Structure 1
Amino acid sequence: RVKRAWVIPPISVSENHKRIPHLLVQIKSDKQQPGGVIYSIKGPGVDEEPLGIFSIDKFSGKVFLNAMLDREENDRYRLRAFALDLGGVTLEDPTDLEIIVVDQNDNRPLFRQDVFTGRVVEGAEPGGSSRGSGPGWGAEPALQQHPPGAPAAAGTCVMTVDATDADDPDTDNAALRYSILEQGAAGMFSINATTGEICTARPGLDRETMGVYNLTVQAADMSGDGLTTTAMAVIYLEDINDNAPEFTKEEFSMEVEEQAAGVDVGRVFVHDKDLAGSSSWLAKFTILEGDPEGAFAIRTDPHTNDGVLSVVKPLDHEVRDRFELTVSVQNERPLEPSAPASPRALATVRVRVRDVNEAPVFRENPRRISVLEGTPPGTPVTTYTASDPDSHQIQTLSYALLYDPADWLQLDPRSGTVRTKRELLHPSAFLQGGWYIALVLARDDAEPPLSATGTLSIEILEVNDHAPQLQPPAGVLCGRPGRGGNLLLGATDDDRPPHGAPFHFQLSPQHPQLARNWSIARFNVTHAVLAVLAELPEGPYSLPLLLRDSGTPPREQQQLLNVSVCHCGRDGTCLDGVLAAATAGAGITLGALMIILGSTILLL
């Protein structure tokens, strides 16, 4: 059994003890004989790191402290004590020697960061406060979470500041209390002395008045009466839409030229106290009155928040030279219900439409007219004029031919009357499908002058001024009826439809006796067939024919057809040598025709 004198209770010693060496305890063995026991100690602080802090007088058993202790480095030391006789034989079992380092308040509190930041929406409601030990000292309810940008619930807490203290947490040396040293005269925030939670203390947080609060916060140990340290708490107020946009004035005036479209007319200016660039600040403009035709549009410049008025449909000074628009403004984001309405949410915008010179206009473009071919020079064709939209300006229009490829026309520069300069005839390389195209230029006398071009489309109407012509005017056929005694006749006409085909072929009515030996039958609209009715002697014959077209009125002409009657072979074709005789007999005169006709009658 260990004797009581050899059981050593824990020994306490204060850190930072400056009287060195300092007797801590004297140990004794019950088996001690004067001068016969050797004492020793081992462990951290003796023969283990840190070395040399403790020592023992080996003869008296006195244990000494040889250096200042720091509880924050080691708060206790556990040593082993030994008792031996002079021969080195153990007199006692080793016993424990525990040295407890007693804390002193030698460490200031330390905030975990130099600057704490938090955010809270403007207008956040304050919470209830409790007693504290200094300005702005109060206990607040637990932090209530709320979405960013939304109004906070009553008693809105912003952030928590926290500090640490290296001293013994079981003593007042590390018992921290928090306070706000400086936050401005308003005292808008309080801090929970125990937890360091900062909450709103008063109503009236307004970002537009003060957007950032800089608080100096303090942490003190010894429950607030000891060592202190400070940090900054920066609180940013988040914007809500509690300010309606306002026009900077009640009326705006601007001008725009007529006929302009897609151009900006001017700007209207607004002021909004909310955070620039946010949806609470961004304006939205609406034209309420004064623009029934939708000629204007207004958009927001996202950089300046100005309203930009533009023209989307051309304006006509002669129709309306002034506009008075009523424009409203509001935010993209709805206004908070508690926010007051703006007294300047409406403005009047007066727009003056400036008159500019406008080009003449041909109301009928192209102008289509018809003229008979062969119309004599100097004949009026039409009067082709333009109108000037500038009814409020006195201007004179003049006219000129811009394009007249055949030089067929002449134009009065004042009246715009178009006359023929020469006969218009078919056919012509300048006609396209019977139409002649000319361009007329109308010019005003403004400075600078403006002009317009009108197209004059003239249809040259066909006149039946040509009779059909026999083609070819001669031919050869066999003189026997039914056996090669046929000849195909054709005709051409210089007139265009409907004054040409169908053609009508007939023997001259002035010579009815021709019908005894000859007949003509229609083959198609342009051809007929001449046939022999009786066997005829070989030789040349000249037949007077009457050809008529289908024009209105029809044109007809008597023409001679030179026919060579040949000697027929068995198959109804002409024998050799007949074609030469036919050629020799071509071009017989009308007098010779009468002799031949007489001889034919005698033979009959």
Structure 2
Amino acid sequence: MKSLVLLTLLIYVESSLQSLSRLRRTWIIDSITIEEESQGPFPYTVGSIKLDRKYAVEFSLKGQGVDQDPVGVVAIDEYDGTIKVKRKIDREQYPRLDLTFEARNTSNNKVDTRLGVEIKILDINDNAPEFLQKVYKVSLKESDKQGKQVTMVQAVDIDEGKNREFHYSLISQSPDNNNAQFFIDPNTGIISFRGCLDYEVAEQYTIIVEAKDHGEKVQLSSSATVIIDITDENNNKPIEILRIPNNKVKVNERETNVEILRIKVDDKDTPFTSAWRAQYIIERGNENKNFNFTTDPKTNDGVLMVIKPLDYETAKNINFNYKVENEAPYFWCKVKERTPNSLWQLDNYIEPRSGGNNLLIEVQDVNDPPNFVPPINKIHLEENAPVGTLLNTFTARDEDDRLINDFVYSVAKDDANWISINPKTGEIKTIKVLDRESPFVINNTYTAILYAIDNGKPPATGTGTLVINLKDVNDCVPHLNHTHITMCRGNTASMANISIIDEDQEPYSGPFTFTLLNKDQLKNSWRLDSTYGNTVHLIKESRVELGTYVLEMEIADQQGETVKQNLTVIVCDCTGNIPVCTRSMHTGIGFSAIFVILGAALFLLAALLALLVCKFHSPEVQQISGENNCYIINYNQEEKGTDPMVN
């Protein structure tokens, strides 16, 4: 299409006659048309300028289109004023040209007339609408409803007037099926769809859209591609492909962490998506939390596990109900009627969660172990009870109806080897003296484990627990924590702290009563600061010389049980850097050898009395054999090691 270019001349006439200046209109220009993008032949005349002068003038043009970009588009004949077009021009690049026209007097070369010239380049339809993107990529969910905006395409046309007006249209759709149809708004470029999207029918659609202008002589157009990916949703239910014969499964009672059922399903949706992954939901039959129904993430199988033992005697059959559904909700879409130029009539809905499947779980009877009644038997007993004391009779029973309650009883755990059980009657007796002070007794309690074994095939074993709470008796006498101590000689009296040990508990232990038996001989040398308590202070007077001293003490507990015990005190010289101690300086408190012999006899007598006291309270204890914790005094055994200095 060719258009005319209007050449508008704004005429400013300059004349100069001495000092007189005046403006006058000297000529009239008619409209001149130029075709944009004209193909020639060039040059061609588009008009001429004539001036009413009695003298000769020369014409010239300067500015855009002549000596400025775009150079060489127009020219003027300097003698006759003819304007010619020398080459084509693009309006979209140069919508107008600004120039200056001059006419000069040839006699004096002075400017006779100067005109400002504006040349408007008129449009022709030489540009098609262009899309901002050549390819558009979008995605839709399979469950999206018809009428939803898919995307919006946009084009622009740089022409003017009618030439820049255009509309959109949809040229093609691939694949073209009866399920879904895409359409575009001709004015806005918004693309929508009607019908039902189905991933299993078409995973992707390719649409060609066109933008076409409204040119008067020729219409120009361009196209773009829209690629629409369909995301798979749950429009296929999981279908069980391996049915359970008679809808029955069997499981042995008392089994745990075993797989009793594996369900295989087929799902047409995309694997490993929420539309494909199955969920196995227990609706009935798991009131006691015996089962767990999980999904195998690799195969999508349903795995039914027993996680808590079942009991045949309680429930032989379990009516089990479960359902299988996908993680994503199931939806349905079907075209009922295709209405021209509007949305179609559809059956479209999301189905609620469906009901379940019934299954009968048969519990198989196996040999149950005997049960002790009660499973934990607690008794209270005073320690040192005679050997053969009847503690209790354990009773077990078997829940199996088909088995006779005939068991063999045995001891499974008896760390101290204190008890025995009759294999037929379940009677439990002591075979040794039970000692509360034994290291096997914790918090006055001794625990033994017993077995009852039935005659099933294979035999089953039940476990029972015997808890013996031992009551303390006064069967241990108090004794010195240390029988040898060291003290320093000094100019003033000094003190040592003497502590006592008694394995008995209240009220058979401390506080204790302390007595120095040879106090007459110890007068003004040794004394006790206190005679009652759990500890006692031994006072050494300043007059005591270096040497070894044997002090005889009597200790009595709250019940009056007494023991006589020697305390050996070594008095050292501590004036130097290293204390000097010797046992050869004194063997007593300055007595003759006869007193030493008499003292030793008294010590032996005291030891014999203590031994008789311990034996009287615990006749079964073998002295010094370690059978109990009763302290047996041995006056012939010196305590090893060196006690710290006490000042």
Contact 1:244 1:342 (8 Å CA) reproduced: no
Alignment correspondent of 2:161: 170
Pick from 14, 39, 43 the counterpart of residue 59 of structure 2.
39
Q: Distance in 1 between the 2:365 and 2:375 partners?
A: 25
SS in 2 for 1:48: coil
Q: Distance in 2 between the 1:373 and 1:109 partners?
A: 110
Pick from 95, 104, 127 the counterpart of residue 84 of structure 1.
104
Q: Distance in 2 between the 1:64 and 1:106 partners?
A: 23
State yes or no: 1:19 paired with 2:11: no
Alignment correspondent of 2:321: 326
Q: Distance in 2 between the 1:393 and 1:91 partners?
A: 139
Alignment correspondent of 2:371: 361
**Quick one: which amino acid aligns to residue 171 of structure 2?**
I
1:442 to partner: Cα distance: 3.9
State yes or no: 1:401 paired with 2:411: yes
Q: Distance in 1 between the 2:174 and 2:437 partners?
A: 101
Pick from 170, 173, 181 the counterpart of residue 179 of structure 1.
170
Q: Which has the larger radius of gyration?
A: 1
Runs of 5+ consecutive residues of structure 2 not aligned to the other structure: 1-23, 332-346, 473-647
Q: Distance in 2 between the 1:223 and 1:353 partners?
A: 86
Superposition map of 1:209-358 within 5 A: 209-222=201-214, 226-236=219-229, 246-248=239-241, 251=244, 258-259=253-254, 266-268=261-263, 285-291=280-286, 293-298=288-293, 309-311=304-306, 313-320=308-315, 322-329=317-324, 338-339=348-349, 345-351=355-361, 353=363
Pick from 54, 63, 72 the counterpart of residue 52 of structure 1.
72
**Quick one: which amino acid aligns to residue 156 of structure 2?**
T
Superposition map of 1:397-546 within 5 A: 398-403=408-413, 409-413=419-423, 416-418=426-428, 438-443=448-453, 451-456=461-466
Q: Distance in 2 between the 1:82 and 1:427 partners?
A: 136
1:188 to partner: Cα distance: 0.8
Q: Distance in 1 between the 2:269 and 2:435 partners?
A: 82
Runs of 5+ consecutive residues of structure 1 not aligned to the other structure: 124-148, 463-604
1:198 to partner: Cα distance: 2.5
**Quick one: which amino acid aligns to residue 192 of structure 1?**
D
1:30 to partner: Cα distance: 1.6
Q: How big is each residue's C-alpha offset from its partner over 1:181-228, in whole Å with a ceiling of 9 and x where there is no partner?
A: 33333271223344433233x534434533432212223345696444
1:178 to partner: Cα distance: 2.7
1:232 to partner: Cα distance: 1.3
Contact 1:9 1:98 (8 Å CA) reproduced: no
Q: Distance in 2 between the 1:437 and 1:195 partners?
A: 89
Contact 1:405 1:430 (8 Å CA) reproduced: no
Contact 1:360 1:443 (8 Å CA) reproduced: yes
**Quick one: which amino acid aligns to residue 316 of structure 1?**
D
**Quick one: which amino acid aligns to residue 160 of structure 2?**
P
Q: Distance in 2 between the 1:305 and 1:32 partners?
A: 106
Q: Distance in 1 between the 2:440 and 2:231 partners?
A: 81
1:248 to partner: Cα distance: 4.7
Q: How big is each residue's C-alpha offset from its partner over 1:523-572, in whole Å with a ceiling of 9 and x where there is no partner?
A: xxxxxxxxxxxxxxxxxxxxxxxxxxxxxxxxxxxxxxxxxxxxxxxxxx
CA distance 1:219–1:414, change in 2 (3 Å): same
- Total equivalences in the alignment: 431
SS in 1 for 2:175: coil
Contact 2:379 2:468 (8 Å CA) reproduced: yes
State the Cα RMSD in Å: 5.1
SS in 2 for 1:70: coil
Q: Distance in 1 between the 2:237 and 2:77 partners?
A: 87
SS in 1 for 2:371: coil
Contact 2:207 2:227 (8 Å CA) reproduced: yes
Q: Distance in 1 between the 2:230 and 2:444 partners?
A: 84
Q: Percent identity?
A: 31
Q: How big is each residue's C-alpha offset from its partner over 1:267-305, in whole Å with a ceiling of 9 and x where there is no partner?
A: 545566677788777766543444454533546678976
Comparing 39-48 with 360-369, greater Cα deviation is found at: 360-369
Q: How big is each residue's C-alpha offset from its partner over 1:291-335, in whole Å with a ceiling of 9 and x where there is no partner?
A: 454533546678976655454643124544553412134567776
Q: How big is each residue's C-alpha offset from its partner over 1:95-154, in whole Å with a ceiling of 9 and x where there is no partner?
A: 35444434444434321112224566657xxxxxxxxxxxxxxxxxxxxxxxxx6x45xx
SS in 2 for 1:81: strand
Alignment correspondent of 1:66: 86
1:73 to partner: Cα distance: 0.9
CA distance 1:232–1:392, change in 2 (3 Å): farther
Q: Distance in 1 between the 2:252 and 2:172 partners?
A: 65
1:41 to partner: Cα distance: 0.7
Alignment correspondent of 2:52: 30
1:40 to partner: Cα distance: 0.5
Alignment correspondent of 2:12: none
Alignment correspondent of 2:181: 188
**Quick one: which amino acid aligns to residue 93 of structure 2?**
E
Contact 1:180 1:191 (8 Å CA) reproduced: no
SS in 1 for 2:34: strand
Q: Distance in 2 between the 1:81 and 1:451 partners?
A: 124
Q: Distance in 2 between the 1:165 and 1:103 partners?
A: 12
Q: Distance in 1 between the 2:435 and 2:289 partners?
A: 54
1:44 to partner: Cα distance: 0.9
**Quick one: which amino acid aligns to residue 227 of structure 2?**
V
SS in 2 for 1:9: coil
Q: How big is each residue's C-alpha offset from its partner over 1:66-99, in whole Å with a ceiling of 9 and x where there is no partner?
A: 3331222113323222111114555653235444
**Quick one: which amino acid aligns to residue 25 of structure 2?**
V
Q: Distance in 2 between the 1:25 and 1:53 partners?
A: 15
CA distance 1:63–1:394, change in 2 (3 Å): farther
